[in-house]
Structure formats: C-alpha cells, structure tokens
C-alpha cells in the first residue's frame, strides 16, 4: 500500500496551548557596517514586523508570506536557526510547531531574520518564562546561521522597538524622539546575503587599510546624527544620511539601483536619503518630512 502522508496540521488555529511573540522590523538610520567594528549606530524597531504562534507539534515552521515551509532537522537555514534558538532556550524545537505572520519582505535590509528569531524567542519564552535577555542572546545565536558574525543590532532593535543607540559593548540604549520622523522606505528588487557584504567590507579594509577611516567616520556620522535627533534638527540629521550614503558607497556596498532610489528620493524633495542595512540590494530610507507622498511615488 502506498504511504499516506498525514494531513499537515493547520498551524493557524490557535488553541489554549498557543503562545505568541512579536519581533519588530528594523531600520538602521546610521552606522551600518561600522557597528560590526565597534562603532555606535542609530537604529529603529518599527511597528511592522513578524508575529509567531507556537503550539506543541512536530517541528513544522511555516511563513506563508515568504512561501516558507520547512521542518526542524531538514537542514534548511531557517530550520537550523530555529533549532539553535530553541536549544539556547532549553526546549526541543522538534516538539513544537511555528506559524509565522510576516508583515515585511524577507532579505530586504529590514531585519526579517532577526524579527523572526525574536518573534519565535518571545513565543517560546511565553511558555518557559525565559527573560528578555535570554531571548536576545538566543535570537542573536540564531542570527549567526544567516550572518556568521552579527553585531547584534538587528536583534536588539527587533526586541526593543522604538529608536535607540547601539554599540557592541553597551548594547541598546533607547533614545527619546522629540518629534515624529517621517521616514519613507523603498525596497529594491535585489535580494542579498548580509554575510557576503560584511565579508566584502572586511576584505576591503585588509587590502586598503585607509578604508578603516571610512568605518570610523561612519561612527562619527552616527554620533552627529544622534545629536541632531536630540536637538530636533531634522535637516542636520538628513545631512548625516547623505554623508553616510556616500561613505557606504565608498565601502562598496551600494548598487546602481540603490543609488538611483536615493537620487530619486532627493529629487522628489527628501531632505536626505541613504541605503539602510547591509546594502548590495535591500532597501533605502529617505527623511521626507512633509514630502512623503512625492518621495514614495
């Protein structure tokens, strides 16, 4: 008799045993790449992100919005990340099912893997009582599957939300926002692997040591951006965006499409625009203030 595969459980149906967690998508406002080298960065965890529902199960991991349907133990990168995360939180991943509702595109510079890891970590923590610091450590360990040597900024923003200063030594420090920042996000069609971009910058710094100065300058630009934010000077912050984009171009992480998006945003009236995240594709952000609709067009 042919083997009959069991009907997959409908992971969407919540039960009294469902636990839920959420991870924010992140926008790096200033300091990407430099943050890997210990420089400070300015980032935001935005309202959109990834929600995860966890039930007792058999290790199914599904995210319909990303056409993702994998299983603990199948060797897929997401499965490995979930296994590592659950191991750190002391629960067997193969005894749980994970249903992910993603509000953001994957691999677009918006921290989808960190948002996913934090959402899963929070949902598991709701079952085990793990503390936020444990969730952060477990999510950052999961991120190493995708990004080899993550600085931790993506998972910190995904967990904390709001605007914050991050560096590797002191972690995330929330920053007050004195006035709303009207930021537009443009997602390019190019998908990219963060670890390749980080490796590319490391190679450049080895071959051309003066590139390290660009890294330090990116850190200084991030600090200047934080001062501008603190004093409510949006135009100065926008200037720091423009400077940062030039420096990131110098590090070789921009692309023609990202440059065109940045130029289009500025032409449409944005005060400043830059790539956000690892580059090589992914997304740009523009500080549009009252020109948001024109910039989005």
- 33 counts as binding ligand MEV under rule CB under 6 A: yes
Dig out the tokens for 131 from the structure: 């503390």
> CB of 110: closest distance to ligand MEV in angstroms?
9
Of residues 32 and 83, the one with the C-beta less far from ligand MEV: 32
- 160 counts as binding ligand MEV under rule CB under 6 A: no
154 a catalytic residue: yes
State the catalytic residue, choosing from 74, 97, 134, 154: 154
- 225 counts as binding ligand MEV under rule CB under 6 A: no
Compute CA 166 distance to the chain's CA centroid, rounded to the nearest angstrom: 13
- 244 counts as binding ligand MEV under rule CB under 6 A: no
> CB of 152: closest distance to ligand MEV in angstroms?
7
- 154 counts as binding ligand MEV under rule CB under 6 A: yes
Window of 95-103, 150-158, 265-273, 289-297 that interacts with ligand MEV by CB under 6 A: 150-158
- 150 counts as binding ligand MEV under rule CB under 6 A: yes
Asked if 21 and 126 count as a contact pair (C-beta separation under 8 A), the reply is: yes
Residue nearest to ligand MEV (CB): 151
Q: Which of 35, 89, 221, 271 binds ligand MEV (CB under 6 A)?
A: 35
- 11 counts as binding ligand MEV under rule CB under 6 A: no
Of residues 35 and 130, the one with the C-beta less far from ligand MEV: 35
Asked if 295 and 268 count as a contact pair (C-beta separation under 8 A), the reply is: yes
Residue labelled with tokens 């200084």 = 220
- 142 counts as binding ligand MEV under rule CB under 6 A: no
- 278 counts as binding ligand MEV under rule CB under 6 A: yes
Of residues 53 and 84, the one with the C-beta less far from ligand MEV: 84
Q: How far apart are CA 102 and CA 84, in angstroms?
A: 21
> CB of 276: closest distance to ligand MEV in angstroms?
8
Q: Which residues bind ligand MEV (CB under 6 A)?
A: 28, 32-33, 35-36, 111, 147, 150-151, 153-154, 194, 198, 277-278
Active site residues: 154
């Amino acid at each position: 008799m042919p083997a009959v595969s069991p009907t997959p459980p409908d992971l969407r149906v919540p039960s009294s045993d469902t636990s839920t967690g959420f991870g924010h998508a992140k926008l790096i406002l200033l300091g990407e790449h430099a943050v890997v080298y210990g420089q400070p960065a300015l980032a935001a965890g935005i309202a959109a992100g990834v929600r995860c529902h966890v039930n007792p199960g058999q290790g199914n991991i599904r995210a319909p919005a990303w056409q993702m349907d994998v299983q603990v133990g199948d060797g897929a990168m997401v499965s490995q990340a979930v296994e590592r995360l659950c191991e750190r939180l002391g629960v067997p991943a193969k005894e749980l099912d994970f249903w992910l509702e993603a509000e953001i595109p994957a691999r677009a510079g918006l921290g989808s893997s960190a948002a996913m890891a934090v959402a899963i970590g929070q949902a598991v923590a709701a079952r085990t009582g793990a503390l936020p610091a444990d969730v952060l450590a477990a999510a950052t360990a999961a991120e190493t599957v995708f990004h080899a040597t993550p600085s931790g900024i993506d998972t910190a923003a995904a967990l904390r939300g709001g605007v914050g200063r991050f560096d590797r030594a002191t972690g995330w420090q929330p920053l007050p926002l004195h006035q709303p920042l009207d930021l537009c996000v443009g997602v390019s069609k190019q998908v990219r692997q963060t670890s390749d971009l980080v490796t590319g910058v490391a190679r450049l710094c080895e071959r051309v040591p003066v590139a390290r100065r660009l890294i330090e300058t990116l850190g200084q630009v991030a600090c200047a951006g934080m001062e501008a934010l603190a004093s409510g000077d949006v135009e100065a912050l926008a200037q720091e965006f423009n400077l940062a984009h030039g420096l990131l171009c110098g590090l070789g992480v921009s692309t023609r499409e990202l440059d065109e998006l940045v130029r289009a945003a500025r032409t449409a009236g944005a005060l400043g625009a830059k790539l956000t995240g690892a580059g090589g594709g992914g997304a740009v952000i523009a500080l549009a203030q009252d020109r948001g609709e024109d910039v989005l067009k």
